[in-house]
């Protein structure tokens, strides 16, 4: 074996080599940091751009519209208004014409086009709130039309910008919180659309999903973890559950379409079908989370219960399940959060219909929040951009709340044995 | 509505049975002493409650399916039905309309003949609902009374109740198998119908995708060639998205596990996981609204031909970012599974941390990372909303990332959300695409899990 002189670490060649290796080390480390910062930066950019667009969706531009109700000669009987259904009474009065006339008088020709379709509702609400104004001349703040609204927020066409400048000089413009956005449903005019219908559809759908997937998921997890004999059937069940957790969500939509709609003839685009489909999707998530939670309960608990004479069913339902419940709930909330954001399977079962009123029950046509976002994103109107982002903010807030609850549960109840 | 009330009544009866049986068992226990009883009082209660509720609820489920047939039969027997047309189609339409009016689902009839049948329908429905309710109540009482008569100190209520519980547990876990079978059966069945209209070879290897032309009656031969779709899916999901997700995911996993301080790790890990929790429709909107126009302007500025506002690159980039936390956590797991001794050995030989990572840890963790990447690919190709909103509909076979391509999932949504009748080749094609997607993701998952498992065993 050839002997070799010991390496001279102080020589220039070696110093250079070490310096090179150290700078490679620093580069590598910087690259890692860069990767993380890129991902986090993307997330920040996404959230900031949604917030920047979406926060405008929660406000609306209002125009102060003076109306002289006496001159408008509305045939409204104040007594009928106080007694009966005000909507019905006012529907027979020619309110839209009166509003249009008032607008043309104040803002000149084309003045009616400055107002949104929601103006009628604002005036109607004002009359219902105080019928005495029918004998007076009052100024009511009514929502502006889409073009004016967009221009007032700084992104409109030149013609609209000019109109806004004129209105501002007249002191007729103001900005208010867009309450109708939280209380009304889908529509064709972005100034009057709201998310309540979609939100209610989401809540109904989630309710059905939870009601079906939680008990089935927990029971299946208990069976597989505590009782199942080791045989072919059990293996088949386990393989199915693991596969279902990995199947693309759109395939569940095809299943829902083929089975629930075409075979069982359940109503199209109803929360019940959406809930059933999402329940099948969420169930494997709950089973997997549930099994992990049950596995974490130490065997000594079971042995102790069995030792004092409890039956296997009593062991599980009196001891194991209560101890595993926080973990199961955490997994369930995470599964539900995923189902809440799911869009593709619901498109397959027809929940993309235009639904202008909130669903009354689980068999009524409905849409859900993410699908509503998808539908609005397809609209061409500029006013819809901010509405879409505003709906996204609401969806993200819901998801954030659910995940925070899950993290809170985990931190509060997690037990190290 | 009446059905819900009947179910509610049965449940109330079961609760009453539970309370009564428990009270009786408690009294008996007090008489004979605790050691002489077989079961706890509440177990007797459950036994009675199950006997009260289960048979009657089962009967109601069966009755709900049988009743429409019985009602229709009765209505057809009435004199008003004698005037119905003989051919099945219009007869069925009139009957369906009359049924809808009778149940309140529809106001007013298109066909005046339906109106004559509304009353018979209402009468028959009321009669059979009443019969069903009475029978359910009788079953409830009979079951409850039978079970209640068996409440004795020596009666083995516990083992009987527990047997029912075990059956319920087994049934719940069988739902997973039923769902899988349902998916496979519906995909295969509908695909079979599609392949009876379109040659499977034309579908799998055809180069031209234009289902619109098939719907317009130009024939199915050249309309359903799915190769452009497969290419688009692979281009976006397996190439562009992975080109983003693998470096970002792998490097962030390496940094977080090997370099980051525990504080930074504690903060950055959840932030990365938020990326996986954002709904895909939000990503899709972001890709379509912000990323795609920026990329098109860039491409137009540089002078790349064929730049489209719905580009493969926009969809792929955003999808890649969405997959980052997934790749990162898989890489994290497999790096953590490399034995500490290997790392220590490399460091002891004088290697720097980055040399250890590149030459020792990553090669050793490679099978796990590859498995994770395969799982990520299977997730990316099944992803729908991002590509629906950002990738476009033109079925192009192109290598240009700035051009518009379409994917399997985009076309599935497109095919099924039109107003086509369900039996056309166009809608059935969605199921054939679904079958291909299902099989491919399944295979990817099986291979990935096998790779990961084998590699774990190597170090255990």
According to the model, what pLDDT value does residue B116 have? 76
Greatest pairwise CA separation for chain A in angstroms = 116
Alpha-carbon span B390 to B287, nearest angstrom: 6
Superfamily per CATH, domain A196-413: MetI-like (1.10.3720.10)
Query: Which uninterrupted H or E stretch holds A171?
Result: none
Do the Cβ atoms of A342 and B279 come closer than 8 Å?
yes
Chain segment B160-198, per-residue pLDDT in tens: 999 999 999 999 999 989 999 999 999 999 999 988 888
**Up-side HSE of residue B47: CA atoms within 13 Å toward CB?**
27
Q: What's the pLDDT tens digit per position in B11-47? A: 999 999 999 999 999 998 888 887 778 888 889 999 9
CA distance A252 to A135: 60
Task: Give the pLDDT of residue A130.
Answer: 77
CATH number of this structure's domain B211-459 = 1.10.3720.10
Q: How far away is chain A from the Cα of B85, in angstroms, using its nearest Cα? A: 26
- Residue B248 with chain A: CB contacts under 8 Å: 35, 38-39
The residue-averaged pLDDT of B89-117 equals: 72
Judged against a pLDDT cut of 90, whether residue B115 lies above it is answered with: no
**Residue/partner pairs of A389-392 with CB below 8 Å, 24 or more apart:** A389/A50, A389/A51, A389/A53, A389/A54, A389/A57, A389/B285, A390/A53, A390/A54, A390/A55, A390/A56, A390/A57, A390/A58, A390/A181, A390/A195, A391/A54, A391/A57, A391/A195, A391/A198, A392/A50, A392/A54, A392/B282, A392/B285
Residues of B in contact with A29 (CB under 8 A): 255, 259, 353-354
**A50 close to A393: Cβ distance less than 8 angstroms:** yes
User: Which of B96, B122, B121 minimizes the C-alpha distance to B109?
Assistant: B96
- A325 vs A7, which has greater pLDDT? A325
Here the tokens at position A164 are: 């806004």
Using CA coordinates, name the residue in chain B closest to A376: B285
A contacts of B281 (beta carbons < 8 Å): 341, 343, 370-371, 373-374, 377
Nearest chain A residue (CA) to B317? A42
Enumerate residues 200 to 259 of chain A having a beta carbon within 8 A of any beta carbon in chain B: 215-217, 219-220, 222-224, 227-228, 236-237, 240-244, 246-252, 254-255, 257-259
C-alpha A175/C-alpha A178 separation (Å) is 9
Q: Where are the alpha helices (DSSP H) in B33-156?
A: 41-77, 88-103, 112-149
The helix or strand, by DSSP H or E, that contains position A174, with its residue range, turns out to be strand A173-177
Beta bridge partners of A62: A143, A174
Domain map (residue ranges) of chain A = 56-177, 196-413
Choose among A247, A253, A279: nearest CA to A268: A253
Structure tokens at B202: 């034309």
The reported pLDDT for the residue numbered A211 is: 94
Closest residue in chain B to residue A36, using alpha carbons only: B252
- Which region among A135-139, A396-400, B141-145 has the lowest average model confidence (pLDDT)? A135-139
In angstroms, what CA-CA distances link B417 with A97, A245, A347, B234, B364? 39, 25, 7, 24, 47
Q: Is residue B217 pLDDT above 70, yes or no?
A: no
pLDDT digits (tens, 9 = 90+) for A102-151: 877 777 777 777 788 777 778 777 777 777 777 777 888 888 888 888 88
First to last CA, chain B: 60
> What's the Cα-to-Cα distance from A124 to each of A140, A333, A382, rounded to whole Å?
10, 42, 27
Structure-block tokens of residue B303: 């002078």
Residue range A7-27: mean pLDDT, rounded:
90
- What residues of B are in contact with residue A24 (Cβ under 8 Å)? 352, 354-355
Decide: helix, strand or coil at residue B238: helix
Question: pLDDT digit string (tens) for B362-389?
Answer: 999 888 899 999 999 999 999 999 999 9
Higher pLDDT, A185 or A291: A291
Q: 């809440």: which residue's tokens?
A: A340
CA separation for the pair B460, B454 (Å, rounded): 10
**Is the pLDDT score of B1 beyond 60?**
no
Q: Which residue of B has its CA nearest to A255?
A: B183
* Chain-chain contact of B272 with A249 (C-beta, under 8 angstroms): no
Residue A243's contacts (CB-CB under 8 Å, 6 or more residues apart) are: B180, B442, B445
A395 CB neighbours in chain B (<8 A) are 279, 282
Q: Please give the average per-residue pLDDT across A170-186, as a whole number.
A: 82
B228: Cα within 13 Å, side-chain hemisphere: 22
Residues of chain B found within 8 Å of residue A246, distances taken between Cβ atoms: 375, 378-379, 441-442, 445
Q: Which residues contact A130 (CB under 8 A, 6 or more apart)?
A: none
- pLDDT for the residue B220: 61
| pLDDT for the residue B76 | 79
pLDDT value of residue B215: 59
The mean pLDDT of A368-392, rounded to a whole number, is 88
Please tell me which of A48-62, A312-326, B196-210 the model is most confident about, judged by mean pLDDT: A312-326
Distance, in Å, from the CA atom of B9 to the CA atom of A414, rounded to the nearest integer, reads 40
At A154, phi and psi to the nearest 5?
A: 100, 15
| CA–CA dist B388, B313 (Å, integer) | 14
What dihedral angle (degrees, nearest 10) is formed by the CA atoms of A11, A13, A15, A21?
Answer: -150
Instruction: Give yes or no for residue B85 having a pLDDT over 90.
Output: no
| Rounded Cα gap, residues A41 and A48, in angstroms | 10
Question: Minimum mean pLDDT among A83-92, A297-306, B263-272: which range?
Answer: A83-92
- Distance separating alpha carbons of residues A350 and B202, to the nearest angstrom: 29
pLDDT at B221: 64
> How high is the pLDDT of residue A56?
84
Interchain CB contact of A29 with B (< 8 Å):
yes
Instruction: Find, in chain A, the residue whose alpha carbon is nearest to that of B379.
Output: A248
Q: Which of A269-273, B71-75, B250-254 has the highest mean pLDDT?
A: B250-254
Q: How far apart are the first and last CA of chain A?
A: 58
Confidence band for A293, pLDDT divided at 50, 70 and 90 = very high
Half-sphere exposure of B139 (CA within 13 A, CB side): 22
The phi and psi torsions of A10 (rounded to 5 degrees) equal: -90, -5
Average pLDDT over residues A22-39: 94
Most confident of A87-96, B67-76, B162-171: B162-171
What pLDDT is attached to residue A81? 65
Query: Is residue A249 within 8 Å of residue A339, measured between CB atoms?
Result: no
Residue B417 and residue A350: Cα distance in Å, rounded? 7
Least confident of A365-379, B173-187, B390-404: B390-404
Q: How confident is the model at residue A24 (pLDDT cuts 50, 70, 90)?
A: very high
Band the pLDDT of B91: cuts 50, 70, 90.
Answer: confident
In sequence order, what are the residues at sequence separation of 6 or more whose Cβ sits closer than 8 angstroms to the Cβ of residue B20? B48, B148
Q: CB of A282 within 8 A of CB of A209?
A: yes
Residue A285 has pLDDT above 60, yes or no: yes
Residue B372, CA distances (Å) to B241, B244, B375 in order: 14, 15, 5
Distances, alpha carbon B83 to alpha carbons A3, B87, B110, in Å: 115, 12, 17
In this prediction, residue A2 carries a pLDDT of 64
Is there a contact between A348 and B412 if contact means CB atoms under 8 Å apart? yes
Chain A residue numbers with beta carbons less than 8 Å from the beta carbon of B289 are 377, 385
């Amino acid at each position: 074996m050839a002997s070799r002189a010991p390496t001279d670490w102080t020589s220039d060649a070696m110093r250079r080599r070490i310096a090179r290796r150290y700078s490679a080390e620093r580069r590598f480390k910087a690259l890692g940091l860069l990767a993380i910062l890129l991902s986090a930066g993307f997330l920040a950019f996404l959230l900031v751009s949604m917030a920047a667009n979406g926060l405008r969706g929660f406000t609306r531009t209002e125009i102060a519209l003076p109306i002289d109700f006496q001159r408008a000669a509305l045939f409204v009987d104040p007594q009928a208004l106080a007694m009966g259904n005000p909507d019905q009474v006012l529907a027979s009065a020619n309110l839209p014409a009166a509003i249009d006339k008032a607008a043309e008088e104040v803002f000149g020709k084309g003045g009616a086009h400055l107002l949104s379709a929601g103006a009628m509702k604002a005036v109607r609400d004002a009359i219902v709130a105080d019928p005495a104004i029918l004998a007076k001349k009052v100024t009511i703040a009514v929502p502006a039309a889409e073009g004016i609204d967009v221009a007032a927020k700084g992104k409109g066409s030149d013609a609209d910008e000019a109109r806004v400048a004129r209105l501002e000089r007249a002191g007729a413009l103001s900005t208010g919180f867009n309450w109708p956005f939280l209380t009304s449903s889908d529509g064709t005019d972005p100034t009057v659309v709201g998310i309540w219908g979609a939100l209610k559809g989401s809540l109904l759908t989630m309710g059905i999903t939870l009601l079906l997937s939680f008990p089935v998921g927990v029971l299946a997890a208990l069976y597989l973890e505590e009782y199942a004999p080791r045989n072919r059937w059990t293996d088949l069940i386990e393989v199915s559950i693991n596969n279902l957790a990995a199947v693309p969500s759109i395939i569940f939509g095809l299943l829902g379409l083929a089975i629930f709609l075409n075979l069982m003839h359940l109503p199209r685009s109803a929360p019940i079908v959406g809930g059933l489909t999402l329940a099948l999707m969420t169930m494997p998530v709950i089973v997997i989370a549930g099994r992990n939670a049950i596995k974490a309960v130490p065997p000594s608990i079971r042995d102790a219960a069995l030792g004092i004479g409890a039956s296997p069913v009593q062991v599980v339902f009196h001891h194991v399940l209560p101890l595993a419940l926080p973990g199961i709930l955490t997994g369930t909330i995470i599964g539900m959060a995923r189902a809440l954001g799911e869009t593709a399977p619901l498109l397959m079962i027809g929940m993309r219909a235009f639904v202008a009123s909130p669903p009354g029950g689980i068999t009524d046509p409905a849409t859900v929040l993410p699908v509503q976002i998808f539908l609005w994103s397809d609209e061409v109107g500029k006013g819809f951009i901010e509405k879409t982002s505003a709906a996204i903010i609401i969806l993200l807030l819901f998801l954030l709340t659910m995940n925070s609850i899950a993290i809170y549960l985990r931190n509060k109840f997690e037990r190290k044995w | 509505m009446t059905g819900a009330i009947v179910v509610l009544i049965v449940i109330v009866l079961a609760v009453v049975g539970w309370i009564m049986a428990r009270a009786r068992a408690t009294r008996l226990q007090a008489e004979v002493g605790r050691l002489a009883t077989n079961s706890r009082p509440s177990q007797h209660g459950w036994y009675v409650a199950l006997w009260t509720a289960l048979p009657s609820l089962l009967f109601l489920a069966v009755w709900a399916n049988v009743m429409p047939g019985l009602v229709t039969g009765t209505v057809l027997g009435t004199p008003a039905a004698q005037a119905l047309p003989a051919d099945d189609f219009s007869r069925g339409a009139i009957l369906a309309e009359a049924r809808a009016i009778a149940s309140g689902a529809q106001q007013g009839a298109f066909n005046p003949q339906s109106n004559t049948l509304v009353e018979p329908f209402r009468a028959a429905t009321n009669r059979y609902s009443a019969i069903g309710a009475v029978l359910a109540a009788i079953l409830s009482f009979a079951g409850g009374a039978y079970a209640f008569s068996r409440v004795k100190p020596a009666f083995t209520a516990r083992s009987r109740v527990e047997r029912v519980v075990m059956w319920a547990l087994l049934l719940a876990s069988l739902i997973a198998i039923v769902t899988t079978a349902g998916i496979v059966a519906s995909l295969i069945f509908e695909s079979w119908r599609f392949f009876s209209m379109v040659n499977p070879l034309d579908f799998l290897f055809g180069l031209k995708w234009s289902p619109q032309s098939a719907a317009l009656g130009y024939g199915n031969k050249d309309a359903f060639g799915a190769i452009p779709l497969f290419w688009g899916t692979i281009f976006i999901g397996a190439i562009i998205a992975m080109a983003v997700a693998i470096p970002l995911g792998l490097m962030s996993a390496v940094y977080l596990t090997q370099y980051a301080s525990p504080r930074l790790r504690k903060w950055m890990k959840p932030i990365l996981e938020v990326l996986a929790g954002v709904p895909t429709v939000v990503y899709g909107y972001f890709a379509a609204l912000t990323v795609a126009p920026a990329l098109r302007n860039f491409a137009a500025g540089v002078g790349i031909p064929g730049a489209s506002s719905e580009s493969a690159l926009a969809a792929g980039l955003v999808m890649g970012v969405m997959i980052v936390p997934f790749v990162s956590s898989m890489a994290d797991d497999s790096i953590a599974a490399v034995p500490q001794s290997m790392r220590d050995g490399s460091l002891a030989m004088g290697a720097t941390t980055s040399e250890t990572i590149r030459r020792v840890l990553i090669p050793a963790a490679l099978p796990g990372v590859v498995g994770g990447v395969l799982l990520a690919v299977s997730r990316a190709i099944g992803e729908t909303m991002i590509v629906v909103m950002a990738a476009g509909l033109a079925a192009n076979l192109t290598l240009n990332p700035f051009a518009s391509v379409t994917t399997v999932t985009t076309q599935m949504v497109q095919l099924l959300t039109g107003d086509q009748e369900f039996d056309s080749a166009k809608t059935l094609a969605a199921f054939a695409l679904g079958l291909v997607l299902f099989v491919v993701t399944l295979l990817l998952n099986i291979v990935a899990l096998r790779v990961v498992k084998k590699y774990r065993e190597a170090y255990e």
